[in-house]
Amino acid sequence: TILKLQFLYLIALSHPTHTHTPHPTMSRLAIPCAKLTLRGTGSQMPQLGLGTWLSEEGKVYEATKHALKVGYRHIDCAWVYFNEAEVGKGLAESVEEGVVTREEVWLTGKLWNNFHRPELVKKGLQESLDSLGVKYLDLFLMHFPVAFKPDVVEATSPDQVENVPLADTWKAMEALVDEGLVKNIGISNCEIPQVKEILASATKPVAVNQFETQPYYSRKELVEFCQAQGIVVTAHTSLGSPGNCMSAHHASKPLMQDELVGEIAKKHNKTPAHVLLRWAIQRPTIILPKSVTPSRIESNAELFDFELSADEVVQIDALCKPGLEGCFNHPKTPWLGRSEFTGNTASYCNN
């Protein structure tokens, strides 16, 4: 079923400007969250967002409402998360109750792999808009640089993957900006060659590249390349995602159990999660910690009252592991070329 597939899913400047919002004087904004400026439009994207991947069914609605109530102004969504309707319900009620306006909340969505054909791109977006109950997205990303056949949600064999040029999909995404359906467009999980391929034909700025980057899998070269191109980096899997649907295939121990991270956390009277998220904030990248637990949603926002020293950053940088050893998201996914297709998901996803 569609709900079961969510557990099979493995998931205007040359440089971004880093600005800080002052401490609020209004109760409607409880988090003094920093923002990054997107190239081209100058849109201000909050550095802290609520992640919603693999959030439990029935709990995303309450998580959305609580996050907005305590001051989050950025929610990261995707068609393939299969929970956008819950996010939309939480957002709509928060607007109705006067907690936020739609314009105050940054919504990111993603084009799933089975909508890459140019004639299907708008359909992929519209399904998300309808589920979320909104008329536009602040940011729309190409979720992966991989195309599936239109009737495939998760490819388990090579014949379910098709060749759709990235430039063709990107051009169709650019048309969505012209139609006013999205304000900014970007990419996700793209490596340097794929970023270059899209940049070569793009007529609108590639605003963001969202990918896994955390101390065990820091992607330093990719982060620096994107930032040099004026592309803001959004980091997913910042906490190592120890409970994700690929945990049986992780080659490294849980990131939040790292001894160095724990020592630095104690020094600042913070948690390991705070240290990992603060490291990402200082690079600077966007972060998307996921939780449906109210206390953890609040704790994940307690990042702007301390800083890591330069020495601490260097120490954390040195934790990076070779190859995919430190990768927690898609370490063995065949349609990313990280293993062979077997006809099922057992080789790369927990069963």
Tokens of residue 243, six digits: 């409970």
Whether 54 contacts 7, CB under 8 Å: yes
The residue annotated as part of the active site, out of 9, 72, 81, 217, is 81
How many CA atoms lie within 13 Å of 118's alpha carbon, on the beta-carbon side? 9
* Residue 340 CB coordination number (10 Å): 10
> Nearest CA to 273 among 286, 255, 250?
255
9 is an active site residue: no
Measured between alpha carbons, how far is 199 from 213 in angstroms, rounded to an integer?
Answer: 21
* Residue 101 CB coordination number (10 Å): 10
DSSP classification of residue 324: T
What b/e readout covers 62-73, taking b as 16+ CB neighbours within 10 angstroms?
bbbbbbbbebbb
The strand ranges marked E within the chain are: 18-20, 34-37, 44-46, 50-51, 74-76, 106-111, 139-142, 147-148, 161-162, 185-188, 208-212, 232-236, 286-287
Measured between alpha carbons, how far is 276 from 124 in angstroms, rounded to an integer?
Answer: 33
Strand order in the sheet with 44-46: 18-20, 34-37, 44-46
Pairing label, strands 34-37, 18-20: antiparallel
Measured between alpha carbons, how far is 249 from 336 in angstroms, rounded to an integer?
Answer: 15
**E strand or H helix that includes residue 61:** helix 60-70
Which amino acid, one-letter code, is at 276?
A: L
Assign residue 323 a region (left: φ > 0; alpha: ψ between -120 and 50; beta: otherwise).
left
Q: Which residues are catalytic?
A: 81
